[in-house]
Chains A and B, each alone.
Chain A
Amino acid sequence: MAEMNIVQAINNALELEMKNDESVVVLGEDVGVDGGVFRVTDGLIDKFGEERVIDSPLAEAGIVGTSVGMAINGLKPVAEMQFSGFIYPAMQEVISHAARIRNRTRGVLTCPLVVRLPYGGGIRALEHHSESMEAMFGHIQGIKTVVASNPYNAKGLLIAAIRDPDPVLYMEPKRMYRAMKQDIPDEAYTVPIGETNVVKQGDDITLVSWGAQMEVAQEAIESLGNVSVELIDVQTIYPLDYKPIVESVKKTGKCVILHEAARNFGPAGEIIALLNEHAFTSLEAPIKRVTGYNVPFPLALSENYYLPSAYRVAKAIKEVINY
């Protein structure tokens, strides 16, 4: 066991998998000599050389396109977008190729590719640096999308993503990169993709969230004192393991969904629809969502107004319980 923050956990996962499997390569802007914009790939180039830790040109479409080629020819590339908001030029490669290789070749080829995406706000960054686009990713057929929320699942989900035969978009809560530490196992382990984690049992209400907002959720639960909240960390946006959420809402009858992404057509809407389909007769109150607002992510000064806060979550929980 070693105490690590999320950056160290991801670095550790990359190092273990690169040691374990020679076909794992890392590529992206400044991931080599400079060790990545957030120092996530720090030291890897010294350990594995520049053939396996590749400083790419400043061209996201090229990074992902190259990775697709590597992946279908037997390598396991882990590509880094410096910020998740930089992936849009590469969406052509993600949607039209990475996501379709398996289907296009009728299962002959797969595309074992991971794209690491530091996502979300809260670091007072510039435009394009703060969005949470998991709803868009989750809507693409043929890719898996996971979101880490702490050092333990950051390491486990990344190793699972690297070992997965299909393309995985791996979202990293950059606001939490160094904000928490956990004791995590030294060896390689996986947190399975497609498994929702019930973090805390409770009877009164179900609170569903993921990524950086898990911390906000915990804070809200603490502020509520004696309300018994069942807290669920979704971990995988798609394929979404909704059964634990359904079972929880069958028990509590009430639910609040928390995400940082904007509200319109957000993942909360999908989860509410699933609860409608599978737990309708258990619902005791309308489900509420606490989300970002339907505006472009604001610049540094106003981002705290945009980001869901523990206060907003606690308020929503109270409204649902008091319905």
Chain B
Amino acid sequence: MVLEFKLPDPGEGIHEGQLVKWMVKEGDEIKEDAPLAEIETDKAVVEIPSPEDGKILKLHAKEGDTVKVGSIFVTIDDGSGEKPKEETKTEEKEPEEKPEMKIEQKPMETPAPQTKQEPEQIPQPQQVQPQTPPAPSTSQQSETPKGKAFATPAVRHYAREKNVDINQVQGSGPGGRIEKQDIDNFLGTPTQQQTQPQPQQPMQPPQPQMPQQQPQPMQQPQQPQQPFYPQYPQYYPQPMPQPPMPQLPQKPALMFKPAQIVLEGNADRIPLSGVRKIISEHMEQSMYTAPHVTHFEELDVTDLVEFRKNEKADAEQQGIKLTYLPFIVSAVVNALKKFPYINSSLNEQTNEIVLKKFYNIGIAVETDAGLMVPVVKNAEQKTIYQIGKEINELAQKSRDRKISLPEMSGGTFTITNVGSIGGIYSTPIINYPEAAILGVHRIHELPRYINGELQPRKILNLALSFDHRIIDGATAASFVNEIKKQLEEAKFSNVK
């Protein structure tokens, strides 16, 4: 017989392949499993073997063609002389199910046994209209529990809508099942699904055990929209009672809703965590709690520069890298003693201003992890050298992440030195709950008039941010003037 060999799936759902090369030509004799052709798929080049012994009658593709799986590939004559028939190997799907096709279940439809399953023989739901109510016991799948109406959820719902007690309705469907038209027939109307303006009085007394069968509006089962789950209001007649939320500690309330971050390109997402998160929370709390005002001042520290230059070598001998910061700390402490409100905190709970009689000066330090503020404790008891040594040590510990919590707490006033990086003025945010913070800037050499004569002078800018709830502008300005006076005079009694 003549076999029309279809290109088989060479594996893994290949849909088509490119014919690379015929390994036979028309008229050739071929043995079973001998290669017919090479096919290149997306994955590999594979040889397609012959399914049988025989003679090649026809090749159905040219080299270079794309051949679809399942299309006729080669015609082979096996020499038996039988009539050609379809190649069978591709038809292995569901052989076990073929016999089952004949015993299709259509119990109520038609007495003629169904032998085929042509699509057109599928009855539409509307077509199922048995003429007489059949005996309930004829269908094994339609056994009715005694004393309960036999109906699908949809029909039960329909009966409720129509205000019909379904238990009174005679079913006409398979196994005596109640169909929609049975409800309509019960109401004495033709088979119609439109809303009828009739039975205002219930046909049957409402069942006491089914209070939801009370007369309902005929139209829509939809109730007024609930805010909760509006899609399916009928299933959620009551809003769910919300359990009382536990009272969480309130963050300082932001009065605006969170901003939408619009991304029109790529972006990295860095989790706000660790030191960054703490800084963020502190800044937010400070900024939204204490009304900030920043006061700026310019200092002529030409003498201080000279003074420090003279001390530097001495300090180095003691292993101290003497910067300007210890001098500023010292001047700040002296000024704080004169202006106690700067060295204070407002206790919002008790409505008290707490004036502190100790002077712990925080020094803001930039580290890889973020800003840290180690504290020079009891600075009023220390010499400038001691302060300088301590600042060096604390800063190093901070950068090494070896600073301990006690070394960073208990501050009463903070100095932030941005001068090492740049800028001429800044507006620092108070290290809440302290009352003020001093920003220290770079010392520039600038021309200034001294007694009417222009001279190169060393100029230092200071910025004092203060909590205006407890400190007035005049106090702040006087405080800064005190620092200015000390640093410009550069007469220190507590150097070593």
Contact = CB atoms under 8 A, between A and B. Distances in A.
Interface of A: 5, 7, 20-23, 38-39, 74, 105, 108-109, 122-125, 165, 174-181, 204, 223-227, 243, 246, 253-254, 277-278, 280-285, 304-305, 309, 311-312, 314-315, 317-319, 321-323
A180 B16 CA distance: 10
Q: Interface residue tally of chain B, by bracket?
A: 35 or more
Nearest to B155: A284
Contact of B153 (A224, A243, A282): A282
Contacts of B109: 322
B14 A178 contact: yes
A169 B173 CA distance: 46
B12 A312 contact: no
B427 interface: no
A204 B124 CA distance: 8
B116 to A, nearest CB: 12
Given A254-B125, A281-B154, A318-B117, 4 more contacts: A179-B15, A243-B231, A282-B154, A315-B117
B453 interface: no
Nearest to B232: A278
Contacts of B13: 122-123, 174-179
B120 A318 contact: no
Contacts of A223: 119
Contact of B157 (A5, A125, A175, A282): A282
A280 B232 contact: no
B347 interface: no
A7 B93 contact: no
Specify the main secondary structure of chain A where it touches its partner: loop
A35 to B, nearest CB: 10
A159 B269 CA distance: 18
A204 B119 CA distance: 14
A281 B122 CA distance: 25
Nearest to B92: A304
B248 to A, nearest CB: 13
Given A109-B271, A123-B13, A39 B266 contact: no
Contacts of B271: 105, 108-109
B45 interface: no
B156 interface: yes
A312 B157 CA distance: 31
Nearest to A254: B125
Contacts of A108: 271-273
A319 B106 CA distance: 8
B11 A123 contact: yes
A5 B15 CA distance: 9
From A125, A179, A253, A322, residue with most partner B Cβ within 10 Å? A322
B82 interface: no
A38 B13 CA distance: 11
